[in-house]
Amino acid sequence: MHSKLLQLSAGLVLSAAFCTPALADQSKPKGYSTDQPKIILTTGEDLDEWTFIINADEEEMGNVWVDLNNNGTCDEDEPVTNFGGQIDFTCVDKKITIYGNITGLNCAQNDLTSIDISGAPQLLKLLAGRNQLKKIDLSHNANLQELYLYKNKITTLDPTPCQFLLELDVDENKLNEINLSNCPNLTKFSCTRNAINTLDLSSQRNLRILYCGGNNLTSLDLSKCEELREATCANNLLENISIAANKKLKEFYCAANKFTTLDVSQNTKIELLDCRDNQLTSLDVSNLYELHTLACGYNRLNTLTFPIEKDGKHAGLINLYAQSNALSHLALERTPDMKVLYVMENNFSELELELIPQLTLFSCSSNPIKELSTGANSMLRTLGAANAQLKSLDLSSNRALMVLQCYGNEINGEAMTAMIASLPARSAMEPGEAFVVNTPKGDKNVIRQADVEAAKKIHWQIFNFLDGVNEGRNPYEGVEVGIQTPEVVNPSLSLMSSGRALYIKMEGKATQDQLYVIDAAGRTVLTQKLDKGSNVVALPNLASGVYVARIGQWNRKFSIQ
């Protein structure tokens, strides 16, 4: 008879059902005995309820029960009548036994300290993630096909008796090694965030999904895994890797290693490539026409090569994350479908955004860009152009714009007024956000109070970024007419050893001598007039946290422990 096997939920946590729940036929004679297969579970916590999903072949359902009080007798509330759906039992003992010829058990999130499945050789699927297990004996479970043990405390695991194993998940345990030599049928293996030093996959010719990130791997041989579709080896110690044999690969994540080169020329089916945070100086994806997302930020790239159009086919790249590199040019004419472009902290002096008219999210902050045209980008919703060299910015064509970061430029006077006037009208329910100045860095942008009021009328909020305090959302009212950036000549600030007072030394002539202390929510919690020379400012009753001391346009962050 066809087995109704439990199905793994997408999140690998206890789900409402493995499959469509089934009820045991109450008309059949019951065999609720102890003389049948069993699984023993022990919890280390005082649970209110045990929560399971149990599956069995239909002809075995009438025999399955849970001995909740360990009396060896099936009491009235102990038969299992719901199969494939979540069932809850009141916890009366820290140790229970499940009797019956079950094929699947989900016992995740029961704070289990031990599980004994040696008496259940017929078990096909076990989900025991998010518990407190330190070990599990698989020597009597040759029929296991799916085993999920993620988020436990397992230090050793021997899956070699399980030659029919198809899926194995041991994420977030304490493994130093694992032997997969007798598991040739594995199609999915996940060992993320352990301490594994070596991983032999020479027997895994059927492997389609591999997650081995967050370990201590210094080498990884994927040459036998020709069926791989998705592989993650991020956050290891790898200096090189070959994926030439993995021609079916669609997603490859190798971020946070030590690669100086990466050859993807043979991987023409790749759709997503994440090679962030390595040491790459060049990257050639010219053969990857199906690539839609490329994350290559935090390398040393000075060259990034896209596919050229041929036979009417062009690059399918939609999302490019290339921040913190050394790039000065991108052949954007080869990527006409691009919608997301992040190239912050590079060496661009110009970007031809008219070549990518579908752009919706864009940031070129911290580049030496003097002029930026977004006239062809009518769908643009987020624009980051902070810390550049812009003296003006026309947003009149960007009617979908919701977020603007332009602090750290040289936009002031009539140019600032024109930029504010070019903003699209938003609504009170969905206002725009404009991060226009960042005063701690001596911003050369100047926005007047009249410009701020004009922005408010079209439902734009004007913020002072304040080096990221309060996520940069610090309401800003602008400067008075005729006042540019008020100067404070080299004030110095330090938190005294008591942690409850500021020492501020005012030097030179200042146009502002009033101190404002602002909390992380943007509220002014203290004001005090300062004298020329040394000042000690008491900080009574301030809670622990991050604050900003503001004197005119000068700001400094400090924290109270």
pLDDT digits (tens, 9 = 90+) for 353-408: 999 999 999 999 999 999 999 999 999 999 999 999 999 999 999 999 999 999 99
- Predicted local distance difference test score (pLDDT) of residue 491: 57
Do 270 and 264 form a contact (C-beta atoms < 8 A)?
yes
The Cα 157–Cα 280 span in angstroms is 36
Residues in the chain: 561
- How do the domains of the chain map onto residue ranges? 355-480, 493-560
Q: What is the mean pLDDT of the chain?
A: 89
Q: Partners of 211 in the beta sheet?
A: 190, 232
3-state secondary structure of 148: strand
Pairing between strand 303-305 and 282-284?
parallel
Q: What is the mean pLDDT of residues 129-145?
A: 98
pLDDT band at 87 (very low <50, low <70, confident <90, very high): very high
Helix (H, G, I), strand (E, B) or coil at 419: helix
Task: Evaluate the CA torsion angle 126, 127, 129, 131 in order and state its sign.
Answer: negative
Please give the span between the terminal C-alpha atoms of the chain, in angstroms, as a whole number.
Answer: 66
d(CA 410, CA 170): 53
pLDDT at 519: 74
pLDDT tens per residue across span 40-59: 999 988 888 999 999 999 99
**Quick one: which H or E segment has residue 196?**
none
Of the options 1.10.645.10, 3.40.50.12160, 3.20.20.70, 2.60.40.10, the CATH number for the domain spanning 493-560: 2.60.40.10
With a cut of 60, say whether residue 485 has pLDDT above it. Answer: no
The rounded distance, in Å, linking the Cα atoms of 153 and 150 is 9
The answer to whether 335 and 322 have CB atoms below 8 angstroms apart is no
3-class SS of residue 518: strand
- Quick check: 477 pLDDT over 60? yes
Measure the CA dihedral 278/317/406/453, to 10°. -140
What is the DSSP-derived secondary structure letter of residue 424? P
| Whether the predicted pLDDT of 318 surpasses 80 | yes
Q: What contacts 465, CB < 8 A, 6 or more positions away? A: 386, 405, 407, 435, 437, 438, 472, 474
pLDDT of 254 above 80? yes
- Both tokens of 187, joined, read 């199609």
10 Å Cβ neighbour count for 557?
16
Nearest to 97, CA basis, from 60, 23, 42 = 42
CA–CA distance, 237 with 56 (Å, rounded to integer): 44
Neighbouring residues of 549: CB distance < 8 A, sequence distance ≥ 6: 493, 502, 504, 515, 516, 517, 555, 556, 558
Residue 187 has pLDDT above 80, yes or no: yes
Cβ-based neighbour number of residue 435 at 10 Å? 24
Tens of pLDDT, residues 510-552: 545 778 787 766 577 888 887 777 778 887 778 877 777 777 6
Predicted local distance difference test score (pLDDT) of residue 508 = 56
What is the model's pLDDT at position 516?
Answer: 79
Report the C-alpha gap between 121 and 92 in whole angstroms: 27
Q: What is the spatial distance between Cα 363 and Cα 147, in angstroms, rounded to a whole number?
A: 43
pLDDT band at residue 169 under the 50/70/90 scheme: very high
CB atoms within 10 A of CB 179: 12
- Distance (Å, rounded) from C-alpha 316 to C-alpha 294? 11
- For residue 504, what pLDDT is reported? 75
pTM above 0.85, yes or no: no
CATH class of segment(s) 355-480? alpha beta
In whole angstroms, what is the distance from residue 402 CA to residue 424 CA? 9
